């Protein structure tokens, strides 16, 4: 049967030819939709079926060799390439599309079955453990995402609160200045009512003048009290007229006064520029992005307190679980990066490591280097700087004067070891809780910027 991409396969039954297939039977050599698979399963319970899942099965397995022009059953196994093969693949006379495995280590399938079954058990255990770890990682991711969102919203509220305070102060100051403007102008200048009174003044003067002439014309000794009263009223009117006239003259004289609002333009621009850059977001997430130390802030802060100076940025250069544990990888990842911090976790969950100012390459002198143990909560200074660090076919702190020594591909070794050699450690195996040898669960190397 021709191999096709399984996401385009249709059911082999002609009546169902437009329905997507979900299963393939190796014995019957047919593709089946959901309905056909149900009937087939009831009839042929022992047939070997493949689920057409694009995430798991790339091609349909027919039992025949996939090589071009090899229409033969796959009954051999190539140990060299870890691959099933047919008789044509083993042909001693190599020609076009024949004999690809004629020089390989080949056996019949029966010989490899026990090994593959054992490997299957190992793979099942691995996948089971991986599934549990992935479930935990997923839950951790969800919790981290939830915390990130909570922190994001809290940060927004914090920013809003600060700017609300600033706006309130600005608004309050604005109101104060506006009231001050009213007060100053009211004290110094006339109000609109004065203009209205001044507009009445000509008519008031005219009427007062007419009243005065009338009093004079009507002057009669027999009406003296009335005439004097009229004179007093006229005097009051003249006082009012004089009062308004003085206010107007004062306003005219004060016309040269001018209020200005300070600060000046350059000061305003400085204030605006400072507002534009006011506030700063500092990224404190994953400041110390260690999977080994996880969220143990006490251990992180303890290690940071041992450093010569607190770094502005900590960058993960190597995680053995992701990048591998070879010395070659370590040297490549750390090339040109100084200083660095190493965090090691043993299979017994003991955490220790070290610090160096030097690049990881061969034997390096470093009088600033130190090692530490989170079990003892102690930092141990270098006492022989010439043997501070080393990295080649193995790596660690204190080469030839062993302090922390890890094999190349140390995760697969249980005999990595500690000592007291080049560093000032009271007890020989103090770093590792009194034991010389250890297996490594994981290690990380960080660049301190």
Q: What is the pLDDT of residues 322-350, one digit of tens each?
A: 999 999 999 999 999 999 999 999 999 99
Q: Which of 77-91, 186-200, 381-395, 408-422 has the lowest mean pLDDT?
A: 186-200
Cα 424 to Cα 382: distance, rounded to the nearest angstrom: 6
Q: Are residues 306 and 391 in the same domain?
A: yes
| Residue 283 counted as domain residue | no
CB-based contact 211:205 (threshold 8 Å): no
| pLDDT for the residue 436 | 93
Asked if 204 and 333 sit in the same domain, the reply is: no
Report the C-alpha gap between 381 and 368 in whole angstroms. Answer: 8
The residue among 140, 162, 187 that closes a domain is: 187
* Residues 435-445, mean pLDDT to the nearest whole number: 95
Predicted confidence at residue 222, as pLDDT, reads: 78
DSSP class of 332: H
On whether the CB atoms of residues 215 and 227 are closer than 8 A, the answer is yes
pLDDT at 4 over 50: no
Examine the domain organization and report whether 171 and 237 are in the same domain: no
Please determine, for residue 6, whether its predicted confidence score (pLDDT) is greater than 80.
no
Same domain, 444 and 328: yes
Average pLDDT of the residues in 89-118: 83
Q: Are 211 and 234 spatial neighbours (Cβ–Cβ below 8 Å)?
A: yes
pLDDT of residue 186 exceeding 80:
no
In this prediction, residue 283 has a pLDDT band, given cuts at 50, 70 and 90, of: low
| Residue partners of 119: CB distance under 8 A and separation at least 6 | none
Q: Name the percent of the chain in helix, strand, coil, to the closest 5.
A: 45, 20, 35
Q: Is 321 helix (H, G, I), strand (E, B) or coil?
A: helix
Q: By percentage, how much of the chain surpasses pLDDT 90?
A: 43
The answer, yes or no, to whether residue 33 has pLDDT greater than 80, is: yes
Residues near 418 by beta carbon (within 8 Å), at least 6 away in sequence? 352, 402, 403, 404, 405, 428, 429, 431, 432, 435, 436, 438
The gap between the terminal CA atoms of the chain, to the nearest Å, is 60
pLDDT digits (tens, 9 = 90+) for 236-282: 988 888 887 787 777 666 655 677 777 778 888 888 888 888 887 76
pTM of the model: 0.48
Average pLDDT rounded to a whole number, residues 308-327: 92
Q: How far is CA 241 from the centre of its chain?
A: 79
Do 35 and 52 belong to one domain?
yes
pLDDT value at position 446?
96
**431 Cβ partners below 8 Å, 6+ apart?**
352, 371, 373, 375, 376, 380, 403, 404, 418, 425
Please give the share of the chain, as a percent, with pLDDT higher than 70: 91
Do 199 and 174 share a domain, yes or no? Answer: no
The pLDDT of residue 3 is 41
Instruction: Give how far the C-alpha of residue 122 lies from the chain's centroid of Cα atoms, to the nearest Å.
Output: 36
Check whether residue 97 and residue 129 sit in a common domain: no
Query: Looking at the domain assignment, is residue 282 inside a domain?
Result: no
Residue 94 main-chain phi, psi, to 5 deg:
-80, 120
Do residues 34 and 22 make contact, with C-beta atoms less than 8 angstroms apart?
yes
Domain boundary among 154, 187, 220: 187
416 and 347 in one domain? yes
Are 213 and 95 within one domain? no
Average pLDDT in the chain: 86
Ramachandran angles phi, psi of 367, nearest 5°: -85, 0
Rounded distance between C-alpha atoms, residue 415 and residue 393, angstroms: 15
**Domain match, 14 and 128 both:** no
**Phi and psi torsions of 108, nearest 5°:** -80, 160
Judge if 41 and 163 occupy the same domain: no
pLDDT band for position 284 (cuts 50, 70, 90): low
Domain boundary among 94, 111, 128: 111
Which pair of structure tokens corresponds to residue 355? 């610090």
Identify the pLDDT of residue 228.
87
User: Range of 119's domain?
Assistant: 114-187
Arithmetic mean of pLDDT, 386-402: 85
> Mean pLDDT throughout 400-426?
89
In this structure, is residue 414 part of a structural domain?
Answer: yes
Q: Give the number of domains in the chain.
A: 4
pLDDT band (50, 70, 90) for residue 445: very high
Model confidence at 94, pLDDT cuts 50, 70, 90, reads low
pLDDT value at position 242?
Answer: 86
Quick one: 140 and 160 in the same domain? yes
Which comes out higher in pLDDT, residue 2 or 441? 441
288 or 54, which is more confident?
288
Q: Are 380 and 404 in contact (CB under 8 A)?
A: no
Q: What is the predicted pLDDT for the residue at 189?
A: 61
């Amino acid at each position: 049967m021709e191999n096709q991409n399984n996401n385009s396969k249709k059911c082999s039954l002609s009546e169902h030819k437009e329905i997507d297939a979900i299963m393939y039977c190796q014995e019957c050599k047919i593709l089946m939709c959901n309905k056909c698979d149900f009937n087939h399963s009831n009839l042929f319970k022992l047939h070997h079926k493949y689920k057409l899942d694009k995430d798991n099965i790339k091609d349909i397995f027919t039992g025949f060799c996939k090589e071009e022009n090899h229409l033969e059953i796959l009954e051999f196994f190539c140990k060299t390439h870890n691959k099933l093969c047919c008789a044509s693949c083993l042909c001693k006379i190599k020609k076009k599309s024949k004999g690809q495995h004629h020089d390989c280590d080949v056996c019949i399938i029966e010989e490899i079955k026990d090994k593959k079954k054992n490997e299957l058990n190992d793979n099942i255990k691995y996948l089971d453990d991986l599934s549990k770890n992935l479930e935990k990682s997923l839950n951790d991711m969800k919790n981290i995402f939830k915390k990130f969102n909570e922190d994001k919203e809290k940060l927004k509220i914090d920013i809003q609160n600060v700017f609300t305070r600033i706006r309130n102060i600005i608004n309050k100051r604005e109101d104060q200045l506006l009231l001050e403007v009213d007060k100053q102008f009211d004290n110094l200048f006339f109000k609109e009512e004065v203009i209205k009174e001044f507009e009445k003044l000509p008519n008031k003067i005219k009427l007062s003048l007419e009243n005065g002439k009338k009093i004079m014309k009507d002057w009669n000794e027999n009406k003296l009290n009335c005439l004097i009263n009229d004179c007093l009223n006229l005097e009051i009117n003249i006082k009012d007229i004089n009062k308004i006239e003085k206010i107007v003259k004062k306003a005219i004289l004060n016309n040269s006064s001018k209020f200005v609002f300070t600060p000046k333009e350059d000061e305003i621009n400085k204030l605006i520029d400072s507002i534009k850059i006011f506030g700063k977001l500092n990224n404190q997430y994953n400041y110390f992005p260690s999977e080994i130390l996880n969220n143990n802030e006490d251990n992180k802060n303890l290690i940071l307190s041992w450093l010569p100076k607190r770094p502005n940025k900590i960058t993960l250069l190597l995680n053995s679980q992701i990048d591998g544990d070879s010395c070659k990888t370590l040297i490549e990842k750390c090339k040109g990066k100084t200083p660095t911090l190493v965090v090691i976790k043993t299979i017994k969950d003991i955490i220790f490591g070290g610090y160096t100012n030097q690049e990881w390459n061969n034997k390096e002198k470093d009088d600033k280097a130190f090692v530490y143990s989170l079990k003892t909560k102690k930092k141990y200074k270098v006492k022989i700087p010439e043997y501070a660090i080393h990295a080649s076919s193995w790596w660690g702190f204190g080469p030839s004067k062993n302090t922390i020594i890890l094999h190349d591909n140390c995760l697969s070794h249980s005999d990595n070891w500690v000592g007291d050699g080049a560093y000032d450690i009271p007890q020989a195996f103090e770093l590792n809780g009194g034991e010389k040898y250890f297996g490594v669960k994981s290690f990380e190397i960080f660049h301190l910027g």
